[in-house]
């Protein structure tokens, strides 16, 4: 017989052995598969979220042919702009566009005055993708054809073929739905974008459009800064010029949900690790349960490798099949909410690109399960069969084993209610197998840690949405200067302080693709902003600046360096960096300074007034008072959107992951209790034979459950506080301090949840125990 044939036969034997192992305890196999399925679902969901949200922008940018540079300016002659852009180096293509803002758009039951008409040069590249219907045709002459952005279509329930009213243009017909990730989608973005053919409108109104946007594609994206440098040198005569690069576009989107998405992705990665850990732990416990079988196999002379191989293969098969199914279920459960989240950001779901990673994850789960079962089985098979048949564990012999055996014997002798009653008896039964109990506590701890992390995230999201102080902003309102100026605002009851604020969005003058938001206040900055100082010191005088760590990282800039900001008027303001701060807003690409240099570079800048409220004063109370003196207030938000639909979608994503995670906990408890009940069948039968009713059995199993659940909660708390929370913060926003630690209430909630799970698991296992006649158990004893 050839070597290959021999190997084939050996594998065949191994396979048959593994199948027979799985068949020999079908209920146990189903239970194990259920556990793997739940862990797989969690892992699948985590991976789907991670890939879906993590790469959403890049996918959408590629799909929609997002330009490398978008230049916005006051209306210009198209020929003049074309000549300027065509003169730039590294320009591959260019498309002019005219945006008309604040147009009334109406459709059936919906209406907005914030319509943004995009008049497209239909002979040029578009910079958007069509997700439904058709595009505006090249050289299109039908001014009644329109595209609407996907967000608007979803929000208003619009479809291809519907009509909408657009300002003075009247009724237009929707011929396609588009997507372009150069901003978040309506209604997350206030502007509802409708695309129309520029040439068609020119023909209809017999006029020449002035363009106010230029979409530029480069030959080499890495040299966009060279293109921008030349563009800057030729901007004379073009007013209100702003360049937005892909980095800038990403920042615009991140203003709405960047931190949230980063948190979710980081959370998913942690959840993925947790799920695989649980799977490994569960596979190892399966082997522990099969130790007598291994003992019999070894006693009848089955080789050690075959024993371990069969166990590994059996676990691997469960990992592959149940894990694969779980991955699929998890992906399907989370795909909907994840897709909604991406749509809100004008991004596209991964679609088919998910198949390969999910398949890879399934294989990984199979491999982890096989390894987690095969290795302990190999170790166990190395022990004397007698020890295994007497109820050995995975731990090698020696002092520890003898100690364990003695303790089990003592437990067996004392298997009757003591001072702690039946609850205590249950605890003793579980603790008699400390390895398994430890594994279950670990699973519960990891799962609970993830749940606590999620609750921490939820609190943080609320804070980021509602509370400016969460991002180091001490003022709650901004107002336009009333007649009396700052003094009049200061005099309003409830106002603690007020000062002029200049907020300028520009770019780093030496790396023009890098956006910078600079906020300037007269006098001491910490009156209005106090993000934690990471390095250096606070601003003390003109010409000094504190920069966010995000900006410092992006520009490779540190204390002592020079921040040069390119302003929209073409001027440049320079500051000496005196400190870096952990600021969260705008991805940390922020800077705080006094206004002197800004005003020197752009004397036309106009401030608003930042208003800090007295402690305990409500915005709703002070707002009307400010309005009364002619200072209409604007509430200062946090670092994320306050859009309800968007936050609801986020909540759905979190809930879906939480539900899967909860299932993992419940499963781990049920499995541990079922195993204990199986092993302590004679004890439980004896109890019942002595007249113990169902509630007594429930109490015993509840005790067993609690002794696992309560330490599990403690481990969850420690893991979340010491490992998960810092890890997620670092992964999501290394440039800022994110308070993702769960509150005391959340910790108590999770502990309570574990107790409930212990009750449910105890009740479920007790029902199975009492369904069996006691005599069966007594016979085994």
Partner 1 sequence: MRVPPTTAWLRRSVALLVAGTIVLLVLLLVGGGDDDPPRTGSTLDVTVRDPSGSGVLRDGPGEHLRDRRDLLPAGTATPSPGKELATVAQLTDTHVRDTASPARIPFLDRLGAPFNPIFRPQEGLTLQTLAAATKTVNRLDPQLTVVTGDLVDNDQQNELTAAITALKGGRVRPFDAHALQGADNADPFYYRPDVDPPREPGLLDRARRPFTAPGLDGPVAVVPGNHDVLVGGEVLATPALRAVAVGDRRLVTPDPAFARTIPRDAGAAQQAVNALLSAGRLPGTTAAVRADPTRRLLSGPEVVGQLAKAGLASDRDGRADTVRDLGTGVRVILLDDVPRGGDDEGPVDPAQQAFLDRALTTAGDRWVLVAFHDPLDRTPNGRAFRARLARAPRVLATIGGDTHHDEVVPVRTPSGGYWSLTTSALADWPQQGRALRVRETAGGGAVLETWKLDTAPDPLADTARELAYLDAQGGRPGKNAGTAKDRNVRLFKPAPR
Does residue 341 contact residue 650 with C-beta atoms inside 8 Å? yes
Choose which of 484, 542, 570, 753 interacts with partner 1 (CB under 8 A).
570
Of 233 and 722, nearer to partner 1 (C-beta) is: 233
Q: Give min distance, CB of 19 to partner 1, in A.
A: 59
Q: Does 577 bind partner 1 (CB under 8 A)?
A: no
Q: How many residues bind partner 1 (CB under 8 A)?
A: 35
For residues 741-779, one letter each, b for 16 or more C-beta atoms within 10 angstroms of the residue's C-beta and e for the rest, the string is bbeeebbeebbebbbebbbebbbbbbeebbeeebeebee
Of 513 and 662, nearer to partner 1 (C-beta) is: 513
Among 79-87, 95-103, 319-327, 703-711, which window interacts with partner 1 (CB under 8 A)? 79-87
Among 57-65, 156-164, 272-280, 571-579, which window interacts with partner 1 (CB under 8 A)? 571-579
Choose which of 88, 461, 525, 709 interacts with partner 1 (CB under 8 A).
88
Question: 395: burial class by Cβ within 10 Å (0-12, 13-18, 19+)?
Answer: middle
Q: Is 481 helix (H, G, I), strand (E, B) or coil?
A: coil
Q: What DSSP element (H or E) covers 194?
A: strand 192-197
Q: Does 601 bind partner 1 (CB under 8 A)?
A: yes
Q: Give min distance, CB of 665 to partner 1, in A.
A: 54
DSSP string, 284-303: HHHHHHTHHHHHHHHHTT--
Q: What DSSP element (H or E) covers 678?
A: helix 644-679
Of 110 and 232, nearer to partner 1 (C-beta) is: 232
Query: What mask of x and - would describe binding to partner 1 in positions 489 to 528, judged by CB under 8 A?
Result: --------------------xxxx----------------
- Which residues between 109 and 138 bind partner 1 (CB under 8 A)? none
Among 80-88, 174-182, 292-300, 495-503, which window interacts with partner 1 (CB under 8 A)? 80-88
Of 89 and 532, nearer to partner 1 (C-beta) is: 89
Write down the residue that tokens 């008049």 correspond to: 119
Choose which of 29, 50, 64, 90 interacts with partner 1 (CB under 8 A).
90
Contacts of 756 (CB under 8 A, 6+ apart): none
Of 236 and 419, nearer to partner 1 (C-beta) is: 236
DSSP string, 310-353: HHHHHHHHHHHHHHHHHHHHHHHHHHHHHHHHHHHTT----GGG
Q: Give min distance, CB of 120 to partner 1, in A.
A: 25
Of 123 and 220, nearer to partner 1 (C-beta) is: 220
- CA torsion 774-776-777-779 (nearest 10°) is 120
Q: Does 150 bind partner 1 (CB under 8 A)?
A: no
Q: Give min distance, CB of 566 to partner 1, in A.
A: 6
For residues 251-265, one letter each, b for 16 or more C-beta atoms within 10 angstroms of the residue's C-beta and e for the rest, the string is bbbbbbbbbbbbbbb
Q: Does 247 bind partner 1 (CB under 8 A)?
A: no
Distances (CA, A) of 681 to 202, 347, 413, 674, 772: 87, 56, 15, 10, 10
Choose which of 4, 86, 606, 624 interacts with partner 1 (CB under 8 A).
86
Q: Give min distance, CB of 215 to partner 1, in A.
A: 17
Among 1-9, 166-174, 454-462, 570-578, which window interacts with partner 1 (CB under 8 A)? 570-578
Q: Does 553 bind partner 1 (CB under 8 A)?
A: no
Q: Give min distance, CB of 570 to partner 1, in A.
A: 7
Number of neighbours of residue 541 by Cβ within 10 angstroms: 10
Measure the N-to-C terminal CA separation of the chain; round to a whole number of Å. Answer: 49
Contacts of 310 (CB under 8 A, 6+ apart): 14, 17, 18, 21, 377
Q: Give min distance, CB of 93 to partner 1, in A.
A: 10
Number of neighbours of residue 418 by Cβ within 10 angstroms: 11
Among 84-92, 289-297, 343-351, 607-615, which window interacts with partner 1 (CB under 8 A)? 84-92
Cα–Cα dist 99/244, whole Å:
15
Q: Does 573 bind partner 1 (CB under 8 A)?
A: yes
DSSP string, 495-547: EEEEEEEEEEEEEESSSTTSEEEEEEESS-GGGTB-PPEEEE----STTEEEE
- φ and ψ at residue 753, rounded to 5 degrees: -60, -40
> Rg of the chain's alpha carbons, rounded to an integer?
33
Of 214 and 636, nearer to partner 1 (C-beta) is: 214
The sign of the CA dihedral 202, 206, 211, 216 is: positive
Among 86-94, 404-412, 454-462, 677-685, which window interacts with partner 1 (CB under 8 A)? 86-94
For residues 644-675, one letter each, b for 16 or more C-beta atoms within 10 angstroms of the residue's C-beta and e for the rest, the string is eebbebbebbbebbbebbbbbbbbbbbbbbbb
Of 509 and 740, nearer to partner 1 (C-beta) is: 509
Q: Give min distance, CB of 228 to partner 1, in A.
A: 8
Of 233 and 775, nearer to partner 1 (C-beta) is: 233
Q: Does 29 bind partner 1 (CB under 8 A)?
A: no
Q: Does 670 bind partner 1 (CB under 8 A)?
A: no
- Which residues between 207 and 246 bind partner 1 (CB under 8 A)? 218-220, 223, 225-234, 236-237
Of 234 and 420, nearer to partner 1 (C-beta) is: 234
Of 89 and 695, nearer to partner 1 (C-beta) is: 89
Q: Which residues bind partner 1 (CB under 8 A)?
A: 84, 86-90, 92, 218-220, 223, 225-234, 236-237, 509-512, 564, 566, 570-574, 601
């Amino acid at each position: 017989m050839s070597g290959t044939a021999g190997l084939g036969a050996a594998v065949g034997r191994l396979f048959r052995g593994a199948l027979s192992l799985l068949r020999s305890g079908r209920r146990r196999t189903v239970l194990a598969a259920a556990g793997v399925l739940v862990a797989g679902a969690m892992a699948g969901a985590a991976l789907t979220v991670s890939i879906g949200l993590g790469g959403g922008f890049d996918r959408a940018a590629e799909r929609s042919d997002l330009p490398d540079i978008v230049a916005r300016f006051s209306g210009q002659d198209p020929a003049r702009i074309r000549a300027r852009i065509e003169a730039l180096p590294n320009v591959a293509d260019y498309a002019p566009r005219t945006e008309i803002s604040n147009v009334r758009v109406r459709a059936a039951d919906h209406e907005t005055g914030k319509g943004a008409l995009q008049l497209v040069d239909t002979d040029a590249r578009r910079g958007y993708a069509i997700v439904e219907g058709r595009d505006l045709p090249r050289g299109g002459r039908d001014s009644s054809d329109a595209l609407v952005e996907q967000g608007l279509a979803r929000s208003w329930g619009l479809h291809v073929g519907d009509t909408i009213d657009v300002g003075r243009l009247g009724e237009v017909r929707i011929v396609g739905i588009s997507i372009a990730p150069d901003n978040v989608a309506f209604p997350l973005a206030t502007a509802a974008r409708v695309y129309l053919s520029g040439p068609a409108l020119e023909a209809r109104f017999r006029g020449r459009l002035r363009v106010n946007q230029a979409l530029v594609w480069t030959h080499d994206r890495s040299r966009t800064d060279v293109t921008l440098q030349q563009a800057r040198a030729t901007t004379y005569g073009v007013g209100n010029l702003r360049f937005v690069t892909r980095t800038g576009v990403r920042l615009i989107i991140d203003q709405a949900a960047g931190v949230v998405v980063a948190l979710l992705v980081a959370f998913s990665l942690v959840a993925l690790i947790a799920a695989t850990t649980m799977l490994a732990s569960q596979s190892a416990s399966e082997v522990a349960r099969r130790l007598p079988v291994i003992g019999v196999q070894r006693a009848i002379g089955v080789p050690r490798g075959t024993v371990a191989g069969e166990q590994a293969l059996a676990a691997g098969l469960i990992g592959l099949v149940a894990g694969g199914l779980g991955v699929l279920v998890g992906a399907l459960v989370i795909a909907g909410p994840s897709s909604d989240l991406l749509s809100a950001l004008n991004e596209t779901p991964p679609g088919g690109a998910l198949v390969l990673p999910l398949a890879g994850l399934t294989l990984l789960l199979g491999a982890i399960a096989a390894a987690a079962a095969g290795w302990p089985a190999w170790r166990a098979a190395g022990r004397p069969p007698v020890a295994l048949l007497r109820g050995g564990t995975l731990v090698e012999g020696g002092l520890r084993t003898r100690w364990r055996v003695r303790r089990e014997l003592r437990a067996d002798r004392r298997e009757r209610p003591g001072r702690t009653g039946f609850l205590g008896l249950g605890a003793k039964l579980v603790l008699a197998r400390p390895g398994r109990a430890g594994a279950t506590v670990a699973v519960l701890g990891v799962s609970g840690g993830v749940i606590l992390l999620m609750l921490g995230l939820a609190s943080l999201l609320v804070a980021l949405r509602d509370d400016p102080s969460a991002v180091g902003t001490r003022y709650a309102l901004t107002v336009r200067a009333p007649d009396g100026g700052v003094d009049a605002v200061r005099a309003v009851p409830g106002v603690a302080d007020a000062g002029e604020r200049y907020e300028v969005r520009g770019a780093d003058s030496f790396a023009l693709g890098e956006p910078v938001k600079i906020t300037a206040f007269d006098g001491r900055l910490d009156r209005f902003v106090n993000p934690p100082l990471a390095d250096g010191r606070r601003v003390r005088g003109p010409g000094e600046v504190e920069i966010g760590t995000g900006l410092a990282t992006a520009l490779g800039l540190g204390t002592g360096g020079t921040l040069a900001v390119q302003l929209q008027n073409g001027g440049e303001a320079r500051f000496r960096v005196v400190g870096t701060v952990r600021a969260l807003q705008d991805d940390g690409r922020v800077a705080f300074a006094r206004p002197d240099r800004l005003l020197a570079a752009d004397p036309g800048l106009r401030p608003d007034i930042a208003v800090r409220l007295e402690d305990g004063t409500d915005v709703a109370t002070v707002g009307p008072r400010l309005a009364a003196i002619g200072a209409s207030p604007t509430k200062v938000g946090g670092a994320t959107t306050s859009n309800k639909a968007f936050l609801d979608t986020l909540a759905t994503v979190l809930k879906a992951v939480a539900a899967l995670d909860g299932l993992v906990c419940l499963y781990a408890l049920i499995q541990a209790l079922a195993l204990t009940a199986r092993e302590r069948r004679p004890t439980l039968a004896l109890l019942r034979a002595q007249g113990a009713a169902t509630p007594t059995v429930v109490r015993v199993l509840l005790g067993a459950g609690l002794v696992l659940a309560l330490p599990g909660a403690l481990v969850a708390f420690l893991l979340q506080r010491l490992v998960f929370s810092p890890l997620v913060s670092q992964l999501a926003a290394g440039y800022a301090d994110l308070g993702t630690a769960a509150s005391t209430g959340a910790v108590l909630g999770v502990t309570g949840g574990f107790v409930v799970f212990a009750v449910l698991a105890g009740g479920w296992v007790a029902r199975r125990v009492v369904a069996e006649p006691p005599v069966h158990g007594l016979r085994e004893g």
